[in-house]
Amino acid sequence: MLDKKNLRVDGKRLWDSLMEMGKIGATEKGGCCRLALTDLDKQARDLFVSWCKDAGCTVKVDKMGNIFARRAGRDNDLAPVMTGSHLDTQPTGGRFDGVFGVLSGLEVIRSLNDLGYQTERPVEVAVWTNEEGSRFAPAMVASGIFAGVYELEYGLSRADRDGKTMGEELARIGYAGEEDVGGRDIHAFFEVHIEQGPILEAEDKPIGIVTGGQGQRWYELNITGVESHAGPTPMDRRKDALLGASRVVELVNRVGLDNAPVACATVGMIESYPNSRNVIPGKVFMTIDIRHPDDDTLSGMDQALRGGVDKIMTDMGLECEMEQIFYYAPVPFEESCIEAVREAAKDCGYPSREIVAGAGHDACYMAEVAPTAMIFTPCVDGISHNEVEDAKPEWITAGGNVLLRAVLDKAGHVA
């Protein structure tokens, strides 16, 4: 008989593992810079694999570098229950985004070992390659290939700003695996993550029951004007690409505000050419990110954005190439997995609330091929994608405890 009183992870061990992993790529402000497929990413992967092998797991790597650590079940022919997230970070990232989901999965396996529980199904922990998309665009490309959204060659050919491809870098760091990407049954998938927003902390609720993910569209824009001398060129005769970009920034902000309160619209990157103090900018590269949980509203935001950009360019005599490089529709998670999280939080005695994921997560692609749900925990002041990103040990422990129970609910308990 399963003794639910003992169903707890070792919160200190989970926290200590997070702090140890956080040393790889540590920054002066207490965060992490561990970009996908760099030498630091390799170090993090190597450490994770060594910990998994110490916990008795078998480890396999697929052709996109996704890592799968498996704890055997009583019947290994059954589809596994999978959990996991990513180890790569933003250039000025934190110690919890992604890695918490990976190491909480490992802690579930360690705790099952400690408690002597055998599951009917295997339990796997996944590390997805390049979730952040900060080095190689688009984000979540490897889990997208696993889910059949992208082709393998598309992922391997993605290049960073220096022209290095994911395929080349996977081979360089030794994580170009032999396993096929996807094409196998997954009984259920859970991902634990910090909220990356302020709601849970403000409401003093340690658990968010995530019911789905926002839809997203990413764009890249190349604006072209005429570079010219900053002194002799009259103001009314300029074709200033950076000025055009600034008006696009205002447009993006307005599109977000017009669809408040749940819409988000962001310009995250601007590069001006020739970037000289006495030359009027002739070219600008910029990125736009828009999000909304309703697909019709997201489509309306897209139309407003495109129409607004066209008008700005026409009015200013500029040219613009605008390409949507990434899109996925709002993703509803599967009800039985949501219920498993809901019941786990209740059994643990944690206050909770239902919430929609505002950020993109690998779970949103996994929902295409497996029953899926997510578990959120608070982060301090709702700050993420920032070196000061932080969490409290008790929040981290709560997420691990809820994940343990949700995984056991789906994997089945034998002894």
Vertex 13: Cα angle to 95 and 33 (nearest 5) = 15
DSSP state of 80: P
> Where residue 2 falls among pLDDT bands split at 50, 70, 90?
low
- Structural contact between residues 264 and 290, judged by C-beta atoms closer than 8 angstroms: yes
173 and 56 in a common domain: yes
pLDDT digits (tens, 9 = 90+) for 113-156: 999 999 999 999 999 999 999 999 999 999 999 999 999 999 99
Task: Among 328, 357, 386, identify where a domain stops.
Answer: 328
> Where residue 358 falls among pLDDT bands split at 50, 70, 90?
confident
35 and 77 in a common domain: yes
DSSP state of 66: -
335 and 272 in a common domain: no
Q: How far apart are CA 18 and CA 90, in angstroms?
A: 17
Average of per-residue pLDDT values in the chain: 96
Contact residues for 6 (Cβ-Cβ < 8 A; gap 6+): 115
> Where residue 173 falls among pLDDT bands split at 50, 70, 90?
very high
What average pLDDT does range 276-284 have in this prediction?
Answer: 98
The model's pTM is 0.83
Q: How far apart are CA 383 and CA 390, in angstroms?
A: 8
Strands (DSSP E) contained in 74-166 are 81-85, 123-127
122 and 37 in a common domain: yes
Q: How far, in Å, are 101, 105, 153, 255, 395 from residue 331 at the CA level?
A: 19, 23, 25, 22, 26
279 and 219 in a common domain: yes
353 and 209 in a common domain: yes
pLDDT digits (tens, 9 = 90+) for 298-309: 999 999 999 999
Residue 185 pLDDT exceeds 90:
yes
pLDDT digits (tens, 9 = 90+) for 395-412: 999 999 999 999 999 999
Task: Among 296, 328, 360, identify where a domain stops.
Answer: 328
Instruction: Give the domain range for residue 268.
Output: 215-328
> Where residue 413 falls among pLDDT bands split at 50, 70, 90?
confident
User: Looking at the 3D structure of the chain, how many domains does it have?
Assistant: 2
Contact residues for 349 (Cβ-Cβ < 8 A; gap 6+): none
78 and 101 in a common domain: yes
> Where residue 272 falls among pLDDT bands split at 50, 70, 90?
very high
Task: Among 294, 328, 362, identify where a domain stops.
Answer: 328
